[in-house]
Chain A
Amino acid sequence: MSTSSKSSRRPCLIAAILAGLIATGCSPTPPAAFRLNMVEAISPTAEKDSIAAEQALTTEQQRQVATILAAMFGTPDEPVCLPEAGLDGSKLQLAAGPVRSDIVGRKNGLYREHCVHCHGITGDGLGPTAAFLNPYPRDYRPGVFKFKSTERADKPTHGDLVHVLHNGIAGTSMPSFALLSPTQVDALVEYVKYLSIRGETELALMRYYFELDDEDEGKLPETREFLVDEILQPIADKWASAADAVIDVPEPPADLDLAASVAKGKELFYGDRANCVKCHGVTGLGDGQANDYDDWSKNIVKIEAKLASLAGNELEPAEHRWIADFHDVLDGDALQPRTIPPRNLRKGIYRGGRRPLDLYYRIHAGINGAPMPAAAGTVSPEEIWHIVNYVRSLPYDFDGELGVDRSMAVQSNVAGALAAQETSDQ
């Protein structure tokens, strides 16, 4: 065997591999770009009454939304914000753009360094890793946040978001960023708000097409009065007023000993008014009603239902187009909807934090975006503290037989809870 001729081919081989690599890799990465909210663009809404109008916004309209957003918010590499948005531009600069660090070691591009692989460039929760995670990473665009100190429908405060970033979300893949400096966390929170306000503005613009008059000819007015005063300002105001919406938490009742409080809480948990048992189950294992979706998945489920209702009908061309658009969207712009199970309360893993105060907020206001309702309307603040104490006792309440709670539940109104569950199952 001629070893030398064989081995002299080796450098050529290496050169060929190298050339191949460069050839395949030579298309440079395009600059980062925001993506349009395609799910919203094709969603059937109440305003879109005729079936033919239920197709996507026209390409022209989608282009107009993209143009307006670029003018108002800039690009992922160069964010801009109008003063009305109430955001701090220097913090955004620190968080936006590609990752780079300067001579004193200060890092820019923090969002792309720490968050983008889960939450995506647009903050749509469609980062590369999203499909592997359960729950999915948060889509900030509707401006809905779960773990906060404010009333259900209100925005989180700056401090709430800092808290989430600092502690992470236990039981999910959202990590803790406790090792970042406070300045960095601050900048990231500002950027999350930026992406939220941008996403909410996009939603508002897209929905506005269905309130246009005929003389508008399907185009949004591109005036300051409309874009800033009518669209942006109300959104920014909600963020600015978050601090006013913080829940008033009274002192825990001091005159009652813990065991008595837990017993009261237990009664409320299984009782009619709080009715926690309906979802969290008679055992507290989270095995009650488990077939609901969160708000993000509901959007997709709604479109799927629409699709199912069209099956078997004679379809107009517009409907065919809508169905094709929908499948495109599902392929690249949306994640498979998933049901959201009520929490297993016997594990003691609380995503919004395990301080009694955190649980008070959760029970008072419910979990925005999730089926978990606010208890505030039906039970008093003092009673909420009893429920908090009972919930906190649940992980330690195991005496070898979870069924102990069942008899308690039967005494109270579990029959009603189960009946309610059955009706909603259908």
Chain B
Amino acid sequence: MLNADRGKPQALRDAAVDRGSLARGGGQSRWNVPRVLSSVLVAVTFVLLSFGALVTTYEAAMAVPDWPGTYGHNMFLFPLAEWLGGPWDLFLEHGHRLLGATAGLVAIALAVSAWLWPVGPRVRWLAVAAVVLVVVQGVLGGARVLLDDTTVAKVHACTGPLFFAVTVALAVLTRRPAGVDQPSAAFSLAATLPVAAYGQLVAGAQLRHLDPATTPPVFHALVGTHILIGLVVAALAYAIAAATWRSVNRAAHRWSAAAAGLVSAQLLLGGATWVAKYGLPSAVLPDAWRLSEAIVARSGSAAVIVTAHAILGMLILAVGVVVAIAAAGRGVTAADAKPGVRRTAAGLREALV
């Protein structure tokens, strides 16, 4: 649509988008259940991952030693007062489990609805993959606790964002207009962004779940890798934003600009995270840069910085997925279509006056 529409006035292009999104509604009912459920799933998963990130920051994973129950209770029957009024670590870990279970149930409902509504094979299989992933992820979480093993913790930390990426892809694809579009030239470039962003999360998980026996040279290599991939992600985000800057594919333009912004913030946050966790890297800084006060370990602000760095990493992955789908020309999102409706009306009025 976008390429074919090149040259038409904006109002007409918007109208085309709008027709597309209206036509899609004419399935079984006025309600597009997969679309609603996928949005719910993205929201639940985001909170779930944030809790997971907090569990890691506060090293609260072993606050509940059993699994799948919580201190002998069925997870859902664990007394609410004890959860909300108990220790912070217990609040985080049990909350993470409840959210995980909720995400699993929503994912199953979404997969079922995807087979009942006419969403196309792509969404259907992706919804099934989401269910598989969330189940595997739950089992990994249980194994992490039962084995108390940092290696499992690392894998658990890597599968979470993968699941998040799938839920975001589902949310975007269930919104896509009916017309099949030509992928924009930036697609092959844009598709690398989520891959690199995911690689960066894997590298970051190695640092967050650091085995204390890691030797300084290995740590050096891990940090080097994390910084290197971080710069690659940033370069990709900027390149994609530049490539789509004047594109008629406004969704790709907007989302890649967002990715570039997030990545910039993330670079700064990464530096702050280092300082919050390990203090200034005094061996690689000039001597004049010494702080006159010792940093206070385990402060609330340090926890916020470190956790925000992990969460922003997952958001960059999510936006990367949206950018890639948008650049494929398939994903003009509802957010794009709605202002279009308004603009169409305004444009029409203008033409009538």
Contacts and interface: CB of A to CB of B under 8 A. Distances in A.
Q: Chain B contact residues (Cβ within 8 angstroms of A): what range?
A: 35 or more
Interface in A14-73: 14-15, 17-18, 21-22, 25-30, 32-33
B229 interface: no
A129 B280 CA distance: 11
Contact-residue size bin, chain A (C-beta under 8 Å from the other chain):
35 or more
B5 interface: no
A170 B65 contact: no
B216 A177 contact: no
A74 interface: no
Contacts of A100: 62-63, 65, 148
B126 to A, nearest CB: 6
A180 B298 CA distance: 8
A358 interface: no
Contacts of A28: 147, 149, 151-152
Question: Of residues B86, B128, B280, B298, which shows the largest number of chain A Cβ atoms within 10 Å of its Cβ?
Answer: B298
A221 interface: no
A103 interface: yes
Which of B128, B147, B202, B287 is packed against the most chain A CB atoms within 10 Å? B287
Nearest to B150: A29
B290 A3 contact: no
Contact of A174 (B87, B120, B121, B294): B294
Contact of A170 (B90, B166, B291): B291
A14 B162 contact: yes
Contacts of B287: 341
Given A29-B149, A129-B216, A132-B284, A21 B155 contact: yes
B87 A172 contact: no
A14 B159 CA distance: 10
A25 B151 contact: yes
B331 to A, nearest CB: 12
B122 A7 contact: yes
Interface in B200-231: 202, 210-220, 223
Interface string B133-148: 1001000000000011
Given A14-B129, A131-B220, A114 B87 contact: no
Contacts of B162: 14, 17-18
Decide if the interface of chain A is mainly helix, strand, loop or mixed: loop
B125 A8 contact: yes
A347 interface: yes
A176 B283 contact: no
Contacts of A130: 216
B322 to A, nearest CB: 15
A249 interface: no
A218 interface: no
A264 interface: no
Looking at B65, B136, B287, B294, which has the most chain A CB atoms within 10 Å of its CB? B294
Given A17-B162, A25-B155, A114-B298, A132 B212 contact: no
Given A21-B158, A29-B150, A127-B212, A173 B90 contact: no
B121 A335 contact: no
Contacts of A172: 279, 282, 290, 294
B31 interface: no
Given A28-B152, A127-B212, A171-B290, A133 B281 contact: yes
B278 A129 contact: yes
A179 B296 contact: yes
A175 B126 contact: no
A195 to B, nearest CB: 13
Contact of A168 (B122, B215, B294): B294
Contacts of A29: 149-151, 211
Interface in A305-326: none
A101 interface: yes
Contact of B210 (A11, A114, A117, A132): A117
B296 A178 contact: yes
Nearest to A350: B292
B11 interface: no
B22 interface: no
B76 interface: no
A98 B62 contact: yes
Given A21-B158, A105-B87, A176 B215 contact: no
B28 interface: no
A100 B136 CA distance: 24
A331 B180 CA distance: 58
Contacts of A169: 294
B336 interface: no
Contacts of B97: none
A298 B46 CA distance: 52
A10 B281 contact: no
Interface of B: 59-60, 62-63, 65, 71, 86-90, 120-122, 125-126, 128-129, 132-133, 136, 147-152, 154-155, 158-159, 162, 166, 180, 183, 202, 210-220, 223, 277-284, 287, 290-299, 330
17 contacts: A10-B126, A11-B126, A27-B151, A29-B150, A98-B62, A105-B89, A117-B210, A128-B216, A132-B223, A133-B279, A171-B291, A174-B279, A174-B294, A177-B298, A332-B217, A341-B287, A347-B290
Given A4-B122, A15-B129, A347-B292, 12 more contacts: A7-B122, A14-B133, A14-B166, A22-B155, A25-B152, A98-B62, A103-B87, A105-B87, A133-B283, A168-B293, A171-B291, A179-B298
The 8 closest A-B pairs by CB, nearest first: A105-B87, A168-B294, A173-B279, A100-B62, A128-B219, A175-B297, A11-B129, A134-B283
